[in-house]
Structure 1
Amino acid sequence: MADLITRRSTLAPASIDAQARTAEVVWSTGAGVRRRDLSGPYEERLSLAPDAVDLSRLIGASVLDAHRQDAVRDVLGTVREASVDGRQGVALVQFSARPEVEPVWQDVMSGILRHISVGYTVEQWAESTDKGVRVLTATSWTPIEISLVPTPADPGAHIRMEERMPEPVPTIPEGDGVHTRAAVNAEIRSVARVAGLGQDFVDGLIDRDASADEARRAAFAELAQRSGPTIRTEQPRVEHLASHDDPDTRARQMGEALYARINPAHALSEPARRYAYSTCAEMARELLSLRGHSVTGLSPAAMVTRALHTTSDFGIILGDTVGRTLRAAYQAAPSGIRQLGRQTTARDFRAVNKIMLGEAPLLEKLGEHGEIKAGTMAEAREAYKIETWARKIGITRQVIVNDDLGAFSDLARRMGQGAAETEARLLVELVEANSGNGPKLSDNKPLFHADHGNKAGSGAAISDTTLSAARLALRTQKGIEDRIIRVTPKYLLVPPALETEAERWLASVAAAKAADVNPFAGSLTMVVEPRLSSVSRWYITADPSEIDGLEFAYLSGSEGPQVESKSGWDVDGVEIRVILDFGAGFVDHRGWYANAGAA
């Protein structure tokens, strides 16, 4: 999504209709606005050529209170019409009749509130030089909203507070009467075109010799009728737009640029590209300036110190950088056992109850009288819950002043690896609970139990015999209703001490005779989990997408580690908190088999 840019101008109603609560405003004259980026000062200009401005989102957009869009109370009205003619952009806005908007409307009518700011996105810039000044001209842009603000920037836009004199009903004088009526009719067609009204609307007004003022009033009434409340069954869509000059938005762009310095393979987004080579001190200077703080004569260290103590910007910058680095390390961290479980989400921290349905009822032969009997399905239930795991790291002011990206990128990388390690250890501890027999299930028996048919009677090394027994145990598993179900062995889970032995039994070897053929070559995939505490125990598991077994879950909307940042919780600098909402459990025993291995 393109960044939202704002520029202030002056509310300029050509007339105010107190009864309709409407005003005509000039929202841009294209006047140049001085801005600054890392390349230095420049003048921003807006092209008001009709083909440069996309008005599709402005018509029907909100009139806001100083660009705030946090709640409905921030909406003061709506934009009814909008147009550009190459010299200026104008609009007809209507103010709400809500009691809290009434003081604003009174100030607009009395001329106290005159200034507006238009919010817009820019899709294409053209760079040039004018009298030695760098100029960026928006040649393709989209106005999004109009706001009332206290300070103007566009001197060409202003309120025309004089009352508009009512237009006389046109007559057709001798000589030039046809020309006069033709001008009015042209105005009626123009009003209808802007309002999106059809030919029937135009013909009705022309047939009764309506004036241009009557045409506008009729158009406003038609639009007001169209905009009445409509009951919709679709879900509302809320779109959040960030201001181009918003320090929080700038801080996130800077965070992305810092991450690109740590990870050169990252492709910078266009807004963040301007900060590709900026130091932390240079970023502090710009953010302090945006927030209205003086930076004259400040050293790099002093700017960083002031930014840390007066704004939350460095928390945002480093939080974004650390978050990206941490997630990349988290996703790259190896975890053998994780691929043997099924990932899901939980809505909250209450117990996750998993209901397992039994086998579908068998079909029965239809009797002589054609009666079809109803079937039932048995069910079983297992449960586990999400818990929160967290740690924090500190990035000192000295590291920020020194622009030492390597110091906190290493910390972030290790925190990402630590989050992945936390998950893997929790899964391993679950499998190895109760002296290697696994957690207790709802039948009050451990996961691996003789009654579950998924535990070798005595431990033995990996061999044709023991692998065959494991495969047979899974293939003959029975469901809740004591009928054979399909369980296909897929993975052989081993500790590092058994890796070589497992490879030997799974390898494809060109045998000279049939008796020497390895029946398990290519039928199982080896998974090595270095966190397994036993050097001899090994497991056979089914594909988690085929049958329930090990399951792990994240809090909905918080998949993986989440990063929070703030300046100076406990250190002189920025602290980063890493939070992981994660839980795991076994929801069925039928997809796992354990062998204690050779003593």
Structure 2
Amino acid sequence: MPETLPLLTRRADLAPATADAQARTVEVIWSTGAPVRRRDMAGEYIERLSLDPEAVDLSRLEGASVLDAHRQSAVRDVLGSVREAAVDGRRGTALVQFSARPEVEPIWQDVLAGILRHVSVGYSVEEWAESSENGARVLTAARWTPHEISLVPTAADPGAKIRMETDMPETTSPAADTPPEATTQTRAAVNSEIRSIARIAGLDQAWVDGQIDGNADADGARRAAFEALARRSSPAIWTEQVRVEMGESQDEPSLRARQMGEALYARINPRHELSEPARRYAYATPVDMAKELLTLRGESTLGLSPATLITRALHTTSDFPIILGDTVGRVLRDAYQAAPAGVRRLGRQTTARDFRAINKIMLGEAPLLEKLNEHGEIKAGTMAEAREAYRVETWARKIGITRQVLVNDDLGAFSDLARRMGQGAAETEARILVDLLEANSGNGPKLSDNKTLFHADHGNKAGSGAAISDATLSAARLAMRSQTGLSGQPISATPKYLLVPPAQETTAEKWLATIAAAKAADVNPFSGSLTLVVEPRLSSATRWYVSADPAEIDGLEYAYLAGGEGPQVETKAGWDVDGVEIRVILDFGAGFIDWRGWYQNAGA
């Protein structure tokens, strides 16, 4: 959340009085509810957090992580955990325990030495209460949930800190039995806090003198500073700090950019239901979005034309291309997933860790069990194996979205480009698979035995081409059922798919159709036993194939790079294009692992 960042002043002895070096625990104050000046599409407002125990849900904070400056991209960002947490109406406190990992030890030592003492809380807000004070719009978090506590270089809330020896009780009058030296020390600490508050809020010395002369405590000074900010006509110093909502800050410009991208996608695809954070951008144009992102980054947008706003958003922040990348990615993936699967249905999908060759080892059938002899001796069995290999390669193309399209809010042209790129990615995959199947004049790729996929020695190729019929389908089924494994034992590959070019589609449908026969001789034995797959990219108008289920037996396999299944989208401000360049990258590879699950007939 956007917050002002204080620089707290304390005396030299900053060792935490609440630290337990043996247990590696320390108490922290994670919020005092300090007001923060914020901005949204409606303009500036002041945000406050209610510290009423009824308003704060601590269920996720107790046991939550203690993070390094709100980072949560890896386990190394976790410094410890929250053991206890509480709110009392004035502040939120917690007992945190630091990890004993070697990389956390220097941080723990800095905490013990008082060098690291600033903390911040990450949270989500479930319910806001809107009001107005001295003409300023105020949003109060009436129901909210803290998610984590972080150590930070500088804290937004002056009172959010690790509890130190110098953290004296904030009171306007000392107890009767308090020694004069302690009273002087307490007042000095409060006065130092007041000066820090004034420095952060940009208040003058007269305001400081008035607070000190009035014996104000730190909480009273904060309330007075808030009222002064609300009255002041000039904007306060405004910076930004990440806060967590469902794992991410809803106010970080990059996240807002993704929400804007979702909103643009919803305008292209009205069936998409917007997430709650993205609803505020449901009717925003690219120009509106560019203006808000520039404002979030501290750029002045006063008097700028739509074209200038787009240009500045493209070249002064990396967030604006994220909007377009998110939208293009969604439209592209819709088109990619809707493309006809064709031969892809007959393969098995897997992933590759890198671009090195994927070596697939085929294990033979398990050895048969043998009857035990009278001595009870169990003999060891062996399994034969074979190896095939293929690799993932990178396929890519880039397109440009011009500045004119963005200024004109021409979402039709925008979506057409993305849709065609999605179809192009699906076509690329299909073409790779078909080229593999039809390599070597239609006999398929060479395997590790130096023979093509479809070969007489493999028993998976018809001796002479013939049209689809009862006889030829029966021959294909018999050939697959007669296949033997690496050890020579029958494996009985079960036919599942009939793959044909478009020219054979009608003939195939006739032979696979369910017909109520009047006599046994007219029964169609292949009715319902095979699934028809039509692949328009097959070059031969007569050649057809039968394949087994890839889940049952190894055959065609295709792989994506791990973490990048399907086409991936990258965006940047265009150099060759006056607008945005979008790259579509596909890391994809395919190969045949075994021939036993496939059969080919050249047709007639």
Q: TM-score, normalised by structure 2?
A: 0.77
Offset of residue 302 of structure 1? 1.1
Equivalent-residue separation in structure 1 for 2:288 and 2:528 (angstroms): 58
| Cα offset, 1:340, TM superposition | 0.4
Q: Which residue of 2 aligns with 1:302?
A: 308
Aligned partners of 1:88 and 1:165: how far apart in 2? 14
Which residue, out of 84, 98, 113, partners 2:106?
Answer: 98
- Letter of the 1:328 counterpart: D
1:190 equivalent in structure 2: none
After superposition, the Cα gap between the structure-2 partners of 1:453 and 1:241, relative to the gap in structure 1 and judged at 3 Å, is: same
Cα distance in structure 1, aligned partners of 2:517 and 2:84:
83
Q: Does 1:508 align with 2:514?
A: yes
1:415 maps to which residue? 421
- Partner residue in 1 for 2:476: 470
Q: Is the 8 A contact 1:346 1:352 kept in 2?
A: yes
Could you list the per-position Cα deviations for residues 372-400 of structure 1 after superposition, in whole angstroms to 9, with x for gaps in the alignment? 22211111111111111111111111111
1:557 aligned to 548, 559, 563, which one? 563
Amino acid aligned to 1:276: A
Give a deviation string over 1:269-311, Cα, whole Å, max 9, x none.
Answer: 1111111111111111111111111111111111111111111
Residue 150 of structure 1: CA displacement?
A: 5.2
Task: Report deviation, 1:69.
Answer: 6.2
3-state SS, counterpart of residue 285 of structure 1: helix
Separation in 1 of the partners of 2:351 and 2:110? 47
Preserved CA contact (<8 Å) 2:497 2:549:
yes
Q: How far apart are the structure 2 equivalents of 1:75 and 1:411?
A: 42
Q: 3-state DSSP class of the match of 1:62?
A: strand
Q: Does 1:145 align with 2:149?
A: yes
CA distance in 2, matches of 1:379, 1:79: 53
Distance 2:10 2:484 in 1: 82
The answer on 1:519 being equivalent to 2:525 is: yes
| Cα-to-partner distance string for 1:192-244 (whole Å, 9 max, x where unaligned) | xxxxxxxxxxxxxxxxxxxxxxxxxxxxxxxxxxxxxxxxxxxxxx9994333
Equivalent-residue separation in structure 1 for 2:163 and 2:376 (angstroms): 86
Shift of 1:17: 6.9
Q: Which amino acid aligns with 2:443?
A: N
Gaps spanning 5+ residues in structure 2: where? 19-25, 99-103, 170-243
The residue identity in structure 2 corresponding to 1:62 is: V
| Partner in structure 2 of residue 197 of structure 1 | none
- Paired amino acid for 1:142: T
Distance change (3 Å), C-alpha of 1:102 and 1:506: closer
1:388 aligns with 2:394: yes
Coordinate RMSD, CA, aligned: 3.5
1:184-263 to 2 correspondences below 5 Å: 241-263=247-269
| Structure 1 CA distance for aligned equivalents of residues 534 and 267 of structure 2 | 35
Q: Aligned-pair distance for 1:348?
A: 1.2
Q: Is the 8 A contact 1:15 1:160 kept in 2?
A: no
Residue 444 (structure 1) shift? 0.7
Q: Pick closer, same or farther for the CA change 1:80–1:530 going to 2, 3 Å.
A: closer
TM-score, with length taken from structure 1: 0.78
Instruction: Give CA-to-partner distance per residue, 1:399-446, whole Å, 9 cap, x none.
Output: 111111221211111111111111111111111100011111111111
Aligned to 2:193: none
Cα distance in 1, alignment partners of residues 88 and 61 from structure 2? 17
Aligned equivalent of 1:43: 46
User: Which residue does 1:30 correspond to in 2?
Assistant: 33
1:543-592 Cα deviation digits (max 9, x unpaired): 11111111111111111111111112432211111111111111100111
1:328 paired to 2:334? yes
Query: 508-517 vs 435-444, which deviates more?
Result: 508-517
Distance verdict in 2 for CA 1:92–1:354, change over 3 Å = closer
Contact kept, 8 Å, 2:110 with 2:116, in 1: the verdict is no
1:597 matched to 2:603? yes
**Does structure 2 conserve the Cα–Cα contact (< 8 Å) formed by 1:537 and 1:596?**
yes
Q: Is the 8 A contact 1:12 1:157 kept in 2?
A: no
SS at match of 2:326: helix
Matched, 1:534 2:540: yes
CA–CA separation in structure 2 for the residues paired with 1:364 and 1:161 = 76
Q: Retained in 1: the 8 A contact 2:443–2:455? A: yes
Aligned to 1:316: 322
* Distance of 2:95 and 2:250 partners within structure 1: 25
Contact 2:14 2:166 in 1 (8 A): no
Identical columns (%): 73
Q: Matched residues in 2 for 1:70 and 1:443: separation?
A: 46
Is the alpha carbon distance of 1:529 and 1:150 closer, same or farther for their aligned partners in structure 2, counting shifts above 3 Å? Answer: same
Aligned 1:249-288 pairs, distance under 5 A: 249-288=255-294
- 1:86 aligned partner: 89
Q: What is the aligned partner in structure 1 of residue 343 from structure 2? A: 337
Q: Secondary structure at the match of 1:98?
A: helix
Letter in 2 for 1:320: D
CA distance in structure 2 between the partners assigned to 1:511 and 1:78 by the alignment: 73
Q: Work out whether 1:426 is the aligned partner of 2:429.
A: no
Match of 1:119, SS state, is strand
